Copies of this chain bind each other. A is one copy, B any other.
Amino acid sequence: MKETHIKKGQIIQRKGDLNSKVYQVKSGLLRSYTIDEKGKEHIFMFASEGWLIADIVWPDEPCELFIDALENSVVVGWEKNIRMNHDVEKLIRRIRVLQKRVILLMSASALERYEHFVETYPKIVQRVPQKMIASYLGITPEALSTVKRNRIQKQ
């Protein structure tokens, strides 16, 4: 149960790292993301107080995702032991989230995806720069900007 303090901007896990851990967030805010062949970042998840964040890989497999801090944070890092990987319920929940995201990417407009995000993670929206929400949604920051403008005019 050793707590680690992480400064905003600090990267605690890089793609390709071995022995990746599971991090329980005590305070602050982190994200996991990849960088594609074209050099663009794509955010997979945000994790604030009480959440777990980790790259889901088999132990001793190089990891796929970067994890860094969006705010000064405190985390507890666990060795990714059998116990964690057998937390099947969390894996299933993760699959559900990813399935939902695939459907939204395939069938919903940027506006619909944004509204879904706001409903699902209202607190995250307050704390994260727009460009990162855009990255999560799979659109450009410019597009998110106009989406928000149109959204307000509708109300």
Chain A residues proximal to chain B, CB less than 8 Å: 34, 36, 38, 40, 42, 44, 56-58, 64, 85-86, 88-89, 91-92, 94-96, 98-99, 101-103, 105-107, 138
Contact = CB atoms under 8 A, between A and B. Distances in A.
A58 B107 contact: no
A95 B85 CA distance: 13
Given A94-B95, A96-B64, A98-B95, A42 B106 contact: yes
A105 B64 contact: no
24 contacts: A34-B103, A36-B107, A40-B107, A42-B102, A44-B99, A44-B102, A57-B92, A57-B96, A58-B89, A85-B88, A85-B92, A86-B88, A88-B88, A91-B91, A94-B95, A95-B95, A95-B98, A98-B98, A98-B99, A98-B102, A101-B102, A105-B105, A106-B138, A107-B138
A94 B94 CA distance: 10
A99 B36 CA distance: 12
Contact of A102 (B85, B88, B96, B102): B102
Nearest to A138: B106
A43 to B, nearest CB: 10
